[in-house]
Structure 1
Amino acid sequence: MSRYLFPVVLLISGLAVLLSLGIWQVQRLDWKKDILADIDARILTTPIDLPANPDPVENRFQPVTITGEIGSDALHVLVSGVAEGAGYRIIAPFQTNTGRIILVDRGFVPLTSKDAILTNGPATLTGNLHWPDEVDGWTPAPDLPKNIWFARDVPAMADALGAEPFLVVARETTSADPVLTPLPIDTASIPNDHLNYAITWFLLAAVWAVMSLFWITRIGKKA
C-alpha cells in the first residue's frame, strides 16, 4: 500500500488547491456583482447640484447637473474602444454660473476628427462625478506639443486648464456636437471574469483527478 501513498497525497493536495481556487473565484464573483450593483445604483440616482467640495468617496459616480459655459480649450486623451475604435476623449474646461471652473469629459471623437472645431459656449450638462484611476508607472507622459494624453490624469489636467481636480463625465448636454459621441459612465466596460476563472479552476481540478486516478491505476496494474 505504501506505493499508493504519494500519488494519493498528490491527488488530494492538488484537488484541495484547485477546488479552493475555484471556490474563491465564486466568492469573488459575488463580491464583484455587489460592487457593480452599487455602481449602477449610484449612477442612476437623481442628479443634484454640484457639491461645494466633491469627495472622491462620498460623491463617487454621483450624478450632477451643471449650467455654464464650455471653454474652447480641450485636452485629447488617446483611447481605443471595441465599438468606437481608436480616437480621443475630449476633456474641456467648464465655467459654471457660479464662477467655478471644472473639468468635463465631453466624449469621444475619432482619430480623423482630432482637430475638428467643436461646439462650445453656453450649455447645461448632466453627468457623473468621477476620479478615474488610469495613471501608473507605465503611463507615458503627455505629448504636450501635439496635445495627446495617454490617460485621464485629473490633477495634471486640472493644472493645465486651471480647473478643480475632478471630472464630470457627460451623459446628456444641451450643447450637442455631431462629431462627439458621449461616453457616459456605466458598468458595461468593467470586466467581471470571475465566473470564467472559477470554471477554469474546476476544470483543472477535474483533469487533475482523472490524471491522478489514471496514474494510481497504472501503479496497481504493475503491482
Structure 2
Amino acid sequence: MSASKTFLRQARSFKSARGISKDLWRPIAPKCPSCRYLSQSSRRPKAEPADDPNFMSIVDNPPNLVRAGRRHGPGLIVLALIPITAFALGTWQVQRLDWKSKLIAKFEDRLVRDPLPLPPHIDPTAIHDFDYRRIYATGHFRHDQEMLIGPRMHDGHDGYLVITPLEREGGGTTVLVNRGWIAKKFKKQADRPDGLPKGEITVEGLLREPWKKNMFTPDNSPQTKEFYFPDVVEMANLTGSQAVWVEETMDPDLLKAWEWEARGIPIGRAAEVNLRNNHTQYIFTW
C-alpha cells in the first residue's frame, strides 16, 4: 500500500471521529499545466480589421498625383496676399515714422528759439515755414467779435475754446488768437468779467497753420455763431481779420490753471509739440 493511500485512510478515520464534513476533507486534484492554455485558447479572440480579407490599409491605396498646372482656388490667393499686404503696410509705417520723427524734431527746434515779433502783414503762404514758431504781438482784443468753438473737453470737463481777434496798433492787421479753454458755465461773457482784459495787451503764443476739419465734425454755422472746428479763413472773413492763427501759451501751473478755471479766464496751451506719433506701434501691429 502506498504512503498516499495510507494518509487518506487515516484522515477519513480522524474525520469520522471528529464529526467533520466530508466536503472539507475532499482532496484537491492537481491542475494540469496544459489545461490553463486550453482554457485560454477556448476563448474567442477579438475581431481585428485586418482579419477581413477585403480590408485595405492606407498604404495599399494608390497615391494621388497633383498636377503642376492645376489652378488654385481664390482662398489660396487671399492667403498669399495677406503677408504681402502686411509687409507693404509695415513698410509704409516705417516711412511714416521717419517722416513724423523728423517733423517733431523740426518743431521742437523752433520752440527753443526766442519769440519773434509778429510782422504787421503776414503772407499766409509763408506760415507753413513758421509753424510752431514762438511769436508775440501787441494790440487790444475785440471781445465784441469773440467766437466760441465747442464742445471741447479739458480734464474731463466740458467747455469751449475762446477765439478773439487781436487788433494791432500802428496800421497792423487783425489776427485770430486762440486764448484757451473755458468751462461751459462761463459761456456768457457777463459771467466771466475777469476773462475780458481791456486796453493794450501783449500776447505770446505759437504761430500755427490752419486746422483741417475731421470728416465726422459738422459744419460751422457763422449765422448763429456756432463753431465746431476752427475754420481760419471763414472766421477771418467774418471778423475782418487776416487768416492768421495764433495759439496763446502759458507756463504749465496746475494751481494757476485751477484758479483761472474758477474765474472764467481762458487757460492757454503749453508751448510744446502735441503731434501724435503711434507709427512704431503700427509697425509691430502689421
Query: Secondary structure at 1:58's aligned position in 2?
Result: helix
Query: Secondary structure at 1:98's aligned position in 2?
Result: coil
Q: How many residues align?
A: 197
Query: Given the alignment of the two structures, is residue 120 of structure 1 paired with residue 191 of structure 2, yes or no?
Result: no
Amino acid at match of 2:167: Q
- Answer whether contact 1:63 1:128 (CA < 8 A) is retained: yes
TM superposition shift of 1:72: 1.8
Counterpart of 1:135?
Answer: 213
Q: Greater relative contact order (Cα 8 A, min sep 6): structure 1 or 2? A: 1
Matched residues, percent identical?
23
Query: Given the alignment of the two structures, is residue 155 of structure 1 paired with residue 233 of structure 2, yes or no?
Result: yes
Give the structure with the larger strand fraction. Answer: 1
TM-score (norm 2): 0.59
- Answer whether contact 1:56 1:131 (CA < 8 A) is retained: yes
TM superposition shift of 1:88: 1.0
Equivalent residue runs for 1:161-176 within 5 Å = 161-172=239-250
Out of 31, 35, 59, the residue aligned to residue 103 of structure 2 is 35
| Cα distance in structure 2, aligned partners of 1:30 and 1:79 | 34
Give the structure with the larger helix fraction. Answer: 2
- Answer whether contact 1:71 1:120 (CA < 8 A) is retained: no
Query: Given the alignment of the two structures, is residue 48 of structure 1 paired with residue 107 of structure 2, yes or no?
Result: no
TM superposition shift of 1:167: 1.3
Out of 159, 162, 165, the residue aligned to residue 93 of structure 1 is 165
- Answer whether contact 2:177 2:246 (CA < 8 A) is retained: yes
Query: Given the alignment of the two structures, is residue 183 of structure 1 paired with residue 269 of structure 2, yes or no?
Result: yes
Out of 91, 106, 121, the residue aligned to residue 179 of structure 2 is 106
Task: Flag structure 2 segments of 5+ consecutive residues without an equivalent.
Answer: 1-64, 252-258
TM superposition shift of 1:136: 6.2
| Cα distance in structure 2, aligned partners of 1:102 and 1:9 | 57
Larger Rg: 2
TM-score (norm 1): 0.74
Counterpart of 1:15?
Answer: 83
Counterpart of 1:205?
Answer: none
CA pair 135-9 structure 1, distance change in 2 beyond 3 A: closer
TM superposition shift of 1:57: 1.9
| Cα distance in structure 1, aligned partners of 2:83 and 2:214 | 37
CA pair 10-102 structure 1, distance change in 2 beyond 3 A: closer
Query: Secondary structure at 2:99's aligned position in 1?
Result: helix
Query: Secondary structure at 1:39's aligned position in 2?
Result: helix
What is the RMSD of the two structures over their aligned residues, measured on CA atoms?
3.0
Amino acid at match of 1:196: Q
Query: Given the alignment of the two structures, is residue 75 of structure 1 paired with residue 147 of structure 2, yes or no?
Result: yes
Query: Secondary structure at 2:107's aligned position in 1?
Result: helix
Amino acid at match of 1:22: G
Task: Flag structure 1 segments of 5+ consecutive residues without an equivalent.
Answer: 202-223
TM superposition shift of 1:84: 5.3
